[in-house]
Every structure is written in C-alpha cells, then in structure tokens.
C-alpha cells in the first residue's frame, strides 16, 4: 500500500491517541441514583475516526454525483457532476486515493460503531 503523511495507507491516526486505528472512546463515571445506589453514567461516546470521515470523507467513497469508471484503455478516472474528468490511474483504489487526498481511510462499523461500542 502507498504511504501518506509518513504512515502506510489504511492507517488512521487521531490527534488524541498515540496508537493507530482507535475506533472510539467512552468517557464515564459512577454516580448515585435517588436511592443511593451506584450507577454507571456514560458522559460521552465518540469516534474521532468517524467524525473526521464525516467531515472529510473516506478514501474509498465519492461524494454524491461523482463516479469512478474505466476509460476504453482500462485507466480509472473520476467523472465529476459537471462532466469534468479527474486524473487517471491503474486501479480504482489508486484514483480514489488521488481524488480523496484529505480523506481518511475507511473505518470499520461505518453505520453501527456506536452500537458496537455500547455492546462491547
């Protein structure tokens, strides 16, 4: 895989954590309920990876109206909504990486990460 910003493609690095590919984090504490029983209180469930993906996009996807296709010579390109053509590459993955330079690598549990965290 290609390297981007000094790290292998497919690795996500949050500004909050030293280790790569941290999917989510939870902040919690214990509190007392009305009867004085200890209860777990979840303060926050967050995914830096998915939050950044929502803002910048994911390397394996295109914005609505854009499409990746091969030309008659087998080279991949991006067709923009206005018909403009972006680049040319040997593989679909390569053209998506070129087009989505600021995007983050695809993350697991794209639609259900919060359910995964709360069930862990």
pLDDT in tens, 10-31: 789 998 889 999 999 999 999 9
Degrees, nearest 5: CA angle 50-55-57 = 75
Using pLDDT thresholds of 50, 70 and 90, give the confidence band for residue 95.
Answer: very high
- The DSSP element (H or E) to which 29 belongs, if any, is strand 25-32
| Contacts with 11 (C-beta within 8 Å, 6 or more apart), sequence order | 20, 21, 105
- Please tell me the least confidently modeled range out of 5-9, 47-51, 102-106, 109-113: 5-9
**Percentages helix, strand, coil for the chain, rounded to the nearest 5?**
20, 30, 50
Place of tokens 């091969």: 70
Q: How far apart are CA 63 and CA 80, in angstroms?
A: 9
Stretch 28-49: mean pLDDT: 96
Sign of the four-CA dihedral 110, 47, 6, 86: positive
- What pLDDT sits at residue 9? 55
Are the CB atoms for 58 and 106 separated by under 8 Å?
yes
End-to-end CA distance of the chain: 31
Q: What is the pTM of this model?
A: 0.70
């Amino acid at each position: 895989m290609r390297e981007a910003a000094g790290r292998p493609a497919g690795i996500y690095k949050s500004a909050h954590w030293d280790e790569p590919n941290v999917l989510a984090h939870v902040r919690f504490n214990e509190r007392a309920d009305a009867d004085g029983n200890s209860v777990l209180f979840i303060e926050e469930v967050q995914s830096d990876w998915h939050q950044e993906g929502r803002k910048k996009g994911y390397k394996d996807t295109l914005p609505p109206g854009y499409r990746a296709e091969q030309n008659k010579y087998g080279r991949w390109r991006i067709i923009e909504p206005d018909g403009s053509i972006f680049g040319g590459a040997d593989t679909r993955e390569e053209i998506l990486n070129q087009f989505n330079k600021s995007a983050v690598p695809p993350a697991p549990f794209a639609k259900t990460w919060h359910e995964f965290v709360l069930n862990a």
